[in-house]
Amino acid sequence: MTVAPQNHAPQNHAPQSHAPGEPVLVVEKLAIALPPGADRPYAVDRVSLTLRAGEILCIVGESGSGKSMSANAAMGLLPETVRPVGGRILLGGTDLLTLDEAELYAVRGRRIAMIFQEPMTALNPLMRIEAQIAEVFAAHGLLTPRTRRSRALELLAEVGLPDPGRAAASYPFQLSGGQRQRVMIAMALALEPQVLIADEPTTALDVTTQAQILRLIRDLQARRGMAVMFITHDFGVVAEIADRVAVMQHGRIVEEGAAADILDRPQHPYTAKLIAAIPDMEAGADHTARAAPRASVLDVEGLTKTYTLGGGLFRAPRTVAAVRDVSFTLGRGETLGIVGESGSGKSSVGRCLVRLQDPDGGRVRLGGIDMAGLSGEALRQARRRIQMVFQDPYGSLNPRVRVGRAIADGPIAYGEPVGTALTAASALLERVGLDASAADRYPHEFSGGQRQRIGIARALALKPEIIVADEAVSALDVSIQAQILDLLDELKRELHLSLLFITHDLRVAAKICDRVMVMEKGAVVEIGPGAEIFSNPREPYTRSLVAAIPGRRPRATPPEALASVSLASAPFAATPLPAAIRTPV
């Protein structure tokens, strides 16, 4: 990869080059008011930050801490109802908060650029990539149409897309998540901004892709001497990329300093708590002990699921094998983790087991019955024994049904009297750590973590033997994540449940699982005790997954570890699953 020739730089504004260490973006006592009635008066409360040339500043915090709000204020992208009420954001001596919309146009993209969490929604689905990048130049009246195109190709090459010509001619849906994020970065770099704001840019990506994107951002930052403000909730990512760190809680900066200092010697209790909440990769000794053989409750043999897509009068339908010949057993009282990247078929396995999807082949033996072959009333009866906890704490509860009733609905459907079922629901709510009075409230009155507890209570209401947790903690903040994992573990022991834990997050899997099954492209790569898989992976694919986990090792990552990562996920991988199937909602 070569350094982009400087003569292509937009000529009519000389990019002021900053000596490393010189402040580029200075936030002074920024205060952003929330509308009346919110849980606190200020989204951002007298925050001061200095972003220096040539450094990566990570802003870390949980959801609602005001970390994104601070960055959006710099770009003039605040929602209508919140407004800055004090302080300044200085970019080379100009206060960005005083600029009007027209003046902001000259700043956005050209001096400060931004990349977002979800590249699919940040790109226009109906425009080719090339045209979208060219539009950045056109919006600022730079270059001629022809040079815009060639510059777009150079940018795509610079962000490491293997076939820039093909990527340029693609529509966003034809690219993978990581490729889309590279395109977003190319667009952000187009006008050679001094400051790049990255708002959770790797949160939606797979772990190996995340490692690549982090490395790319680091490379580009070093090569161009940009200042990068990197917003994240993940201390693992911080360890990978940050020079300095600012930790935010409730709209305030509670701690700020060099990355190494904060990570190794956190001063503020909140920072310490966040760092402690990261599941660490060394699986506990008790897990190893618990990985002993035990009586099986669930036997899966040769499970197969193929999706058929499209197909019309003159077109052959396309088939995608989501699950190929998957076999495993789940022991009584065991936690089995299914890990893999998006499109690996791990969710499809879970959905086939509970029969939200019908498998095409194979057997699912649950205490002598083959779940895969049941239908109608027999299926309804068998389903009591295997229940599911869903990913989305917001989407998995009906907004118009009271919480107690939502939990009681299952037992009522199996003939339990309404009164007993509701009493049992209250008891379950207490068991999962909520107040019994929660039963009379509606889901919107609860936080994400509380809703996930309600989801767990609902799954327990039918007294199942097996619980399938499909990315059950992925949408939660780390500290809440730890609580929910502890709760699941505790309930499992107490009620002698078996847990099938589907996750993309290997750190979570390492924390909770006795055994782990690694999946890739619908097939099982490796299955074994968690400690063994993570400390001593046999298969190259598992090795690449483990190597890509952010924050596992000091920043000086051995190059060979990363090399294996970039090999592992081939660009333009053989037609990935369509998004609709890959992430069933």
Partner 1 sequence: MTAFWVRYARNRGAVAGIVILVLVLVLAMAAPALYPRSPWAMVQRPFLPPFTNGGFPLGTDTMGRDIASAVAHGAGVSLLVGFVSTLAALLIGIPIGAVAGYFGGRVDDLLMRFTEFFQSVPNFALAVVLVAIFRPSLVSIVAAIAIVSWPPVARLLRGEVMALRGREFVQAAVLSGQRSGPIILRQILPNTLSPVIVLGTMMVAAAILLESALSFMGLGDPNIMSWGYVIGAGRTVIRQAWWVSLFPGLAILLTVLALNLVGEGLNDALNPRLSRKTR
Q: Which residues bind partner 1 (CB under 8 A)?
A: 35, 37-38, 79-81, 354, 356, 380-381, 383-384, 387-388, 390-392, 395-401, 406, 409-410, 413-414, 455, 458, 461-462, 584-585
Task: Write down the least CB distance from residue 461 to partner 1, Å.
Answer: 7
Rounded CA separation 372/366 (Å): 10
Looking at the Cβ atoms of 110 and 383, the one nearer to partner 1 is 383
Task: Write down the least CB distance from residue 64 to partner 1, Å.
Answer: 13
Looking at the Cβ atoms of 189 and 461, the one nearer to partner 1 is 461
Looking at the Cβ atoms of 384 and 441, the one nearer to partner 1 is 384
The DSSP line for 215-227 is HHHHHHHHHHT-E
Strand, helix or coil for residue 327: strand
Q: Is 305 left (phi over 0), alpha (psi -120 to 50) or beta?
A: beta
Looking at the Cβ atoms of 397 and 525, the one nearer to partner 1 is 397
Task: Write down the least CB distance from residue 172 to partner 1, Å.
Answer: 23
Are the beta carbons of 478 and 62 closer than 8 angstroms? yes
Task: Write down the least CB distance from residue 400 to partner 1, Å.
Answer: 4
Rounded CA separation 207/552 (Å): 12
Looking at the Cβ atoms of 97 and 475, the one nearer to partner 1 is 475
Are the beta carbons of 27 and 66 closer than 8 angstroms? no
Amino acid at 79: P
| Packing angle, helices 448-460 and 418-431, rounded to 10 | 130
Looking at the Cβ atoms of 279 and 410, the one nearer to partner 1 is 410
Looking at the Cβ atoms of 471 and 526, the one nearer to partner 1 is 471
Task: Write down the least CB distance from residue 452 to partner 1, Å.
Answer: 12
Scanning 116-203, the segments in alpha helix (DSSP H) are: 119-122, 129-139, 145-158, 164-168, 177-189
Rounded CA separation 560/96 (Å): 43
532 exposed, middle or buried (CB, 10 Å; 0-12, 13-18, 19+)? Answer: middle
Task: Write down the least CB distance from residue 127 to partner 1, Å.
Answer: 24
Looking at the Cβ atoms of 211 and 461, the one nearer to partner 1 is 461
Looking at the Cβ atoms of 265 and 444, the one nearer to partner 1 is 444
CB atoms within 10 A of CB 63: 13
Task: Write down the least CB distance from residue 75 to partner 1, Å.
Answer: 19
Task: Write down the least CB distance from residue 357 to partner 1, Å.
Answer: 10
Task: Write down the least CB distance from residue 392 to partner 1, Å.
Answer: 6
Strand, helix or coil for residue 375: coil
263-272: long-range pairs with CB below 8 Å, 24+? 263/235, 263/238, 263/239, 271/247
Structure tokens belonging to residue 197:
């704001």
Structure tokens belonging to residue 424:
């049992």
